[in-house]
Amino acid sequence: MTETEAAIVLNMLPQVGPVRFGRLLERLGSATSILSATGSSLRTVEGIGQEVSSVITSWRDHADLDTELNLVGKAGARVITRQDQAYPPLLREIHDPPIVLYVLGNIEERDHRHGIGIVGTRKASHYAAEAAKKLGYQLAYAGLTIYSGLARGIDTAAHQAAVAANGRTIAVLGSGLSSIYPEENVPLAEKIASGHGAVISEFPMATTPTRQTFPKRNRIISGCSFGLLVVEAGLNSGALISAREAGEQGRSLYAVPGRIDQPGTLGSNRLIQQGAKLVIDAGDILSDLPMIFATPQEPTKSRPRANLSGEDLLVYEAIGDDPTDIDTIITRSGLPPATVSSRLLALELGRHVKAAPGSRFIKLM
């Protein structure tokens, strides 16, 4: 049995879970060692009593590995463990990282570093859906990877916007990959996995969604991201669970303001009261990136423009030596206003330009 197969088995066992698995792994060194350990050895680990040790030593009674591997192969998926390089490094750092991740599609290096979670209500207002589309598009176009939960409403709008921007997006399921929910989003999931990102889950392939699985997946959305954007949420919205997880994980928290007379926006408005950054434009998030990701080896002031080409180069060269307003940039570049706005966001993210008061921009070199 391989290490990945042993991890799949442990992930399928009742009562093991990510936290207990972490303790077992720290003591015994590998998933294969955990499965081959005696009951007495297992019980020396904190939190492992008679019941849990019995489940592990009799794992064949609880987990059908061959059937699970067949489902993985049939779906064209793969499974990664905490030890794999493809496992999101930010997720690995949380209190209870998933034992394994089932992956349909590809997780790339850029998804690890510049991921932003976007969540909100399933019963989104027109205003909220449009806000999610606008912000999701701008952020994906600027190079961020959009993490969300593939649910109806805000999640769907965020994923669709990222795909429309030809950007990256990761859908985190509250079910197994063989039971994608809601069913109407199966084509969207397939589109994401076919070249725009990945569909992932910590649950065994045939797991159906329940009230317990959805809250569990929320920690993955925030855990993979540097920050979480709540677009619209009532006081009892599941998005607030994601926000709480994000706060506990030390992630930046953002929220789109809503009408004060609508119950469906009370949760997201309350988040702003409690310190979440109010977002009306993607630039409100992008402006935080140099501060969040700057390191001693990564200067925050200047970056050569050697890699700029196409629309990025046209917009960059339209900026003069002094702060240049956006109308002038549009005129000089000859590009549509929407394209100029989106490329300016991307140039800000790449630290080629900096926004100045009055919708003006400055070259950073």
Judge whether 214 and 136 are in contact, CB under 8 Å.
no
What CATH topology corresponds to 310-363? Arc Repressor Mutant, subunit A (1.10.10)
The SS3 call for residue 12 is helix
Residue 334's pLDDT is 92
Residue type, 127: Y
Per-residue DSSP letter, 208? P
**Considering only 99-113, 147-161, 227-241, which range has the smallest mean pLDDT?**
227-241
Domain boundaries, the chain: 1-63, 104-290, 310-363
Q: How many Å apart are CA 340 and CA 316, to the nearest integer?
A: 10
pLDDT over 60 (residue 301): no
Q: How many Å apart are CA 286 and CA 329, to the nearest integer?
A: 20
Judge whether 254 and 229 are in contact, CB under 8 Å.
yes
Element of type H or E holding 159: helix 154-164
CA 156 to chain centre: 14
What CATH topology corresponds to 104-290? Rossmann fold (3.40.50)
pTM given for the model? 0.80
What tens digit of pLDDT does each residue of 241-265 get? 889 889 999 999 999 999 888 888 9
Q: Which strands form 324-325's sheet, in the order they lie side by side?
A: 324-325, 360-363, 353-356
Specify the CATH class of 1-63 in words: mainly alpha
- Residue 336 Cα distances to 323, 332, 340, 348, 355, angstroms: 20, 11, 6, 18, 19
Q: Please, which pLDDT band fits residue 204 given cuts at 50, 70 and 90?
A: very high
pLDDT over 70 (residue 172): yes
Q: How many Å apart are CA 78 and CA 93, to the nearest integer?
A: 22
